[in-house]
Chain A
Amino acid sequence: MASTVETEHHAPAPAEPVRDGIWRRPLKNTGLVGFLTTVDHKKIGIGYALGALFFLLLGGVEALIIRAQLMYPEQELISARTYNQLFTMHGTTMIFLAVMPLSAAFFNYIMPLQIGARDVAFPRMNALGLWCFLLGGVLLNLSWFFPGGAPAIGWFAYAPLTDRQYSPDMGTDFWIMGLQILGIASLVGAFNFITTIVNMRAPGLSMMRLPLFTWMTLITSFLIILAFPAITIALVELMFDRHFGTYFFNVEGGGKPILWQHLFWIFGHPEVYILILPAMGIISEILPVFSRKPLFGYPLIVFSGAVIGFLGFAVWSHHMFTTGLGVVATTAFAFLTMLIAIPTGVKIFNWIGTMWGGRIRFTTPMLFSVGFIWMFMMGGFTGIMHSSPPVDAQQQDTYFVVAHFHYVLIGGSIFALFAGMYYWFPKVTGRLMDDFVGKIVFYLMFVGFNLAFFPMHILGMTGMPRRTHTYKSEMGWDQSNFWSTIGAFILGVGILIFVIQIVYAYYKGRKSPKDPWDSRTLEWDTDSPPKEYNFAYTPVIHARDQVWEDKYGVEAKRMEKIAPGKHGIHMPDQSWWPLITSIGLFIACLGMVFHKQPIPLTAEAVFGLEIVIFGLVATFVGMVAWALEGPGGFHLHPDPAEYADATPAPEDGHGHH
């Protein structure tokens, strides 16, 4: 550690000492306390990734149990009710606790590096997002341990099944409140990323020079802030129905269950783009690197991303074609849905154009990326099929749809996220992952995935319903189901090897140079792993693929560097309050679950709103203390060798903040 730390508080000699809130701020940035109080976007990103990988495995195990149950006809491996709980928890876990947070891990870790920022705009809020994500996942999964067990309502929880009358147990309440906290996590993260990307770009880094991953982070964040409110309100209304006797979705008092479907899908469709756009961003970073060519049609890809995001809000009813929306509405939604295929197709052509004529290196990240293009396209084709209402009427609620969305979610999102993990692992840990093992993982996943899910197309076309606990042999589905299960286990083995590989590489992997792939974007210009302050200098950007230009470009396009001023680099202080605030929220949500419900031991309803109120007060106190404490800050002085080639900071400036 060549840098010296100076724990002076930044305001030059304030008239009175800065008060620190209730207790002294934690200064130690290592160990457990260092992690629990961190505000460093890189550690937070790693926290997201570890949590997401854990939940990916959990959701994977749930999926494998589902598949085991379906391996042979008329099995009773698990009861029908457990089966319902498993697919509900599997779907919810995969979407909200695996894919979204894994994307968020990349947003956190990579995006600030790509724009040359020292951190995100609101570091403590970023920590709040992480803790809300983890506690939301915990809350959702706590449901297993309470009477009635996990929710059994499907991941979209259609009314009136969610009514107290039909789902009397607490599982559904855990689902509601768990999603509510996860929503908060996504929202605070998104506000933060929008502000960071728009406002904290390095000098010279205009919007049209942003790396594509950063662009997709921005668009995804907008989708989050505009889509999540719909489900937040829908969940509030459902909560009121279940706890306070309202009739939002309750037919008894005139509520219309169809309203839930609308509100859910107003969120739900943009949500699928929230799951796929980050993946597209990752792919758009990796393909140029391993094709040794700039991204083909950069502005078009950005523009199509924005169009996809916007249109994504106008197609929600394609999930409801079979509910009888009326001819006009059905036609309009079908038309708009088909329209989305255009910008998506544009992107696919651009990726192919990027590879065309390039000097392609098939490393593991590249294999996953190419796998992504192909598999995502398959999912896209089936998607276009059910954008046609009469076709959808045949496919809705069959295994055909299960095949479709796994092609886009696994073949799409998961493949791209794996590509991203292989690609950025050296940056994050400073170590390389073995390419040979990586290829084994890829082929296992690729073969397993297709074996598991391709037959589902046929199962669906021949009538096998989705969410079915078992089936009769006469239906002729035995073969396909058997092979599908085999495929699922192969896919599982692939993922398992990946986990082992990543743990191994973390401890034993070969050391990585700072730019192992001969990459193009700014994050590769700093150390692997990056220092706490990301960059010892302020990068001044002159080109889109800046790091590539530095290596191979003309003199005029080389990056300039500005040395830190005499104050050094300003860093925010660590804080306990994000964690405490999120615990307050957790308690409030847990209290809402227990509200007037028989809980274990007493078997009687003992709690009114006491716990909720306590939790909210704790949240409020946490927020006040948070505000009183302020961002704080200290200065770091990097080793001058790190910015030897930089120009000195201008007199008035304070270098890199």
Chain B
Amino acid sequence: MINKILSTKNLSLKITITLFVVSFLICSLIYPGFFSWQNFFNLFIDNSFLLITAIGMTFVILTGGIDLSVGSVIAFVSMVIAFLLQQGLNAFIVIPLGVMIGGCFGAIMGLIIQKFKVQPFIVTLAGMFLIRGLSFLISVESISIKDPIFNRIANYHIPIAGGAISVNVVLSLVVLALGMYLAHFTKFGRTVYAIGGDEESAQLMGLKVGRTKVLVYTLNGLCSGLAGVAFSLYMLSGYGLHAEGLEMDSIASVVIGGTLLTGGSGFVFGTLFGVLIQGLIQTVIMFQGTLSSWWTKIFVGILLFVFIVLQKVISNMKTTKNEFNN
């Protein structure tokens, strides 16, 4: 058992989880009132949209790609939702529409990346500018959401363990479960890993590389569309400047969660902890009271450095010698 825990298999995932648990406990000791279920739930409530989009991002990064457009998609979707609700459309039409917009946008970028063999970095960078710009075509002002149904959903609380969680949390956990299932138990998911390992080999092994890559960006689009919905529920407004830089938080969550930026290795489950650790840092800084919120960025930056170096060390550990080498 001990050996199993200490083995290098999934080591960076284990480290991430340990880091989270230990820091949470330490903070509980330092700050009175920190340790409560509600405070723990708040991590989920305040970061559910990040978790949703980071799960999509995990798939993209597992293939060795990247998607910089997610923050913009979230802003655009929040804008469309707020605008259409303002026009009196039914929330149950607007919500799926928001998700679909993200999906379509992802699919288009995926097709461009695949068909024209363009770097995902470039395509999604263009997408990032384009779609954030589009949000301002709808309105340059923030539009607040007054729709009663939408507000009911946003304010609905599900009581649990003496505290309460929002609909968003349930949404994000469902996405997490689906993501884990997709990644580890479906052909699609395994092809994603194979592509990240060696795309050319995957092709020669007869895997559906092209289709899978397009699907991965579509999936990520759907996730960011849904994150847009969650974000609108959280903020109750649509605004072109919403979720600025969220793509970077999302990428950071994935990396801290133990997924290699070069692709082919990582866990969807790890991404949850990448998100939680970032949330924890924010909460701590709030509790601390005197530090400015920029410290969040500083800590996340340091963590990223540490984790990237750590991953390198672990992967070096693994490649040193083995009994079957000649």
Do the two chains belong together in a single complex? no
Question: Which residues on B are within 8 Å of A, measured CB to CB?
Answer: none
Question: Which residues on A are within 8 Å of B, measured CB to CB?
Answer: none
